Amino acid sequence: MSKQIPQNQGIGMTSDRTRDRLIKRLKEQGIRSNLVLDQIRNIPRHLFVDEALATRAYEDTALPIGLGQTISQPFIVAKMTEALINSVDGDRILEVGTGCGYQTAILSSFFKEIYTIERIRSLLLKTKQRLRTMNIYNVHFRHGDGWEGWSKYGLYNGIIVAAAASELPSNLLEQLDIGGVLIIPIGAPGEQELTLVKRNHDHYESKNLGSVSFVPLVKEK
C-alpha cells in the first residue's frame, strides 16, 4: 500500500522482523492475497492495544482491549478481508463492531467509504481519535446497534460483522446492494460459523467459511 501510516517506530517485539513472522504464519495458514498481507504488515497493530500488551501485538491471537472486548486475531481479520475484496464489486462498506478499529484500518485502504457501528460509546470515541492520528479519513462512525445497520448510507456493496449473531440480521440483509456480500459469524459460543451471504437479484445464497470464535453481537432489546 502506498499510504504512509505513522508507525511510532516499533522496536523489539514490534519491529519489522516480528511483523514478518506474523505474515509468514498467515501465509502458511492459507492467506494468499499479497494486498491483504501487505496491509497487515503496514498497519501498526501495537497501536491498537494497551502499551502493556504491545509486545504481543504481532502474535496471531486475539487480545483484550478492555470493557470485555477483544481485538480480533490477525488471521481472522486477514481471512474476512480477503473474502470481502475477492467478492465485493464496489466501494461502500458497512462494518459492525468497530471495537479498537483494527479491522477498520485494514479495510480503509481497499474501499472508498467505510461506515462503522459500535455499541460502546467510549470505545468508539477512542477509536475515532486513533484512526485520525493514523491519517485515516474515509471512515464514518456511528454509535448504535449493529442489528439495525445504518440504512441512511446504504445500500452497501459489502457488510462485515465482527461479533457473532444468533441469526442473520434481516436489516443487514436488506441493506445489501444487489451483488453485495455480508460476512458474519453466526451461532452460539463454541459453535460459530463464519458465513458469507451474497445478495442476488431474486435470492440470497450463503456459504460457510469455517468455524470461528467471536464475542456476541449483543441484542439491545
147 binds ligand SAH (CB under 6 A): yes
* 174-201 burial: b if 16+ Cβ within 10 Å, else e: ebbbeebbbbbbbbeeeebebbbbbbee
**Radius of gyration of the chain, Cα coordinates, nearest whole angstrom:** 16
User: Residues near 88 by Cβ (< 8 Å), separated by ≥ 6?
Assistant: 111, 157, 158, 180, 181
120 binds ligand SAH (CB under 6 A): yes
Q: Which of 75, 128, 145, 176 touches ligand SAH (CB under 6 A)?
A: 145
Q: Which of 14, 57, 74, 102 touches ligand SAH (CB under 6 A)?
A: 102
Q: How far is the CB of 24 from ligand SAH (least distance, A)?
A: 21
- Give which of 118, 100, 111 is closest to 46, Cα–Cα: 100
Task: Give how far the C-alpha of residue 155 lies from the chain's centroid of Cα atoms, to the nearest Å.
Answer: 19
168 binds ligand SAH (CB under 6 A): no
Q: How far is the CB of 104 from ligand SAH (least distance, A)?
A: 7
Catalytic residue ranges: 72
* Sole window of 15-23, 36-44, 145-153, 182-190 interacting with ligand SAH (rule: CB under 6 A): 145-153
125 binds ligand SAH (CB under 6 A): no
* Sole window of 13-21, 69-77, 149-157, 201-209 interacting with ligand SAH (rule: CB under 6 A): 69-77
DSSP string, 33-68: -HHHHHHHHHS-GGGGS-GGGGGGTTSSS-EEEETT
Site residues, ligand SAH (CB under 6 A): 69-72, 77, 96-97, 99-100, 102-103, 117-120, 123, 145-147, 162-163, 215, 217-218
